[in-house]
C-alpha cells in the first residue's frame, strides 16, 4: 500500500504573477518585483500585489474621489494601480499630481488644464523608488453589480430571517419569487 499524501495545503490561492498578457503590465511587474526585493519599502510590495490582481479587483477611481482624498495632503502624488476616470459632476478640478495605469482622455485633459501632472507607474519608479511622498489609493471593490447578489455579510444567507441578497429575478412583480419566505401567509416572511 502507498502512503496517503495530504494535498490540502499544496495549492496557494494567491497570485504570484499577473494573468494578463498585457506587455506593459508584464514589464511593470518585472520592475516592481526588483524594487520590492531590493528596497525594504512596503509601498513597492503593495504595488506589485495590485499589478497581479484581476481587473475586477482593480476598480476605477473617479477624479472627484481622488480630489477629496488629496485635499488633506498637499504636494503628494496620488498613486492608483488601475484606471482614473473623469467625473462631470465635479465642476472645478484642483491641481493634482496623479500616477495611474490608465487615465481616460477626459480626465487627463482636465488634470492638465488645471496645471496638474499625469505620470505612468514606471515614471514613478524613477521619481519615488520607495514611494516617498505618495498616497496609494484604490477604487471601491464592492461596487460591482455582481457583488449585490453575493451571500454573506450583514444581510446573511437568503432564506434566513432578516437575511437575503439581491435575487437573480426578472422583475419584482406579483408572480416572481413570492412563495415561501417572501410572504407571511407562505410559511414565513424574510
Which parts of the chain are beta strand (E)? 61-62, 77-85, 97-103, 117-119, 134-137
CB 116 within 8 A of CB 95: yes
Check if the beta carbon of residue 80 is closer than 8 Å to that of residue 101.
yes
pLDDT recorded at residue 159: 67
pLDDT for 88: 96
Q: Which grid coordinates are listed for 42?
A: 512596503
Exposed, middle or buried by CB within 10 Å (0-12, 13-18, 19+), for 164? middle
Residues of the chain with pLDDT under 50: none
- Predicted pLDDT of residue 8: 85
Residue 33's pLDDT is 97
Question: How much is the pTM?
Answer: 0.84
Amino acid at each position: 500500500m502507498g502512503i496517503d499524501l495530504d494535498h490540502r495545503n499544496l495549492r496557494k490561492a494567491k497570485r504570484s504573477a499577473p494573468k494578463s498578457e498585457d506587455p506593459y503590465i508584464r514589464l511593470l511587474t518585472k520592475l516592481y518585483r526588483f524594487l520590492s526585493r531590493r528596497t525594504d519599502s512596503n509601498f513597492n510590495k503593495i504595488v506589485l500585489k495590485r499589478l497581479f490582481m484581476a481587473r475586477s479587483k482593480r476598480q476605477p477611481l473617479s477624479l472627484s474621489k481622488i480630489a477629496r482624498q488629496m485635499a488633506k495632503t498637499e504636494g503628494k502624488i496620488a498613486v492608483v494601480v488601475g484606471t482614473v476616470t473623469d467625473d462631470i459632476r465635479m465642476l472645478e478640478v484642483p491641481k493634482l499630481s496623479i500616477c495611474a495605469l490608465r487615465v481616460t482622455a477626459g480626465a487627463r485633459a482636465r488634470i492638465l488644464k488645471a496645471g496638474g501632472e499625469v505620470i505612468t507607474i514606471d515614471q514613478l519608479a524613477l521619481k519615488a523608488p520607495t514611494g516617498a511622498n505618495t498616497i496609494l489609493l484604490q477604487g471601491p471593490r464592492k461596487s460591482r453589480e455582481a457583488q449585490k447578489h453575493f451571500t454573506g455579510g450583514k444581510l446573511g444567507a437568503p432564506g434566513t430571517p432578516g437575511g437575503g441578497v439581491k435575487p437573480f429575478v426578472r422583475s419584482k412583480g406579483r408572480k416572481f419569487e413570492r412563495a415561501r419566505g417572501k410572504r407571511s401567509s407562505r410559511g414565513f416572511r424574510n
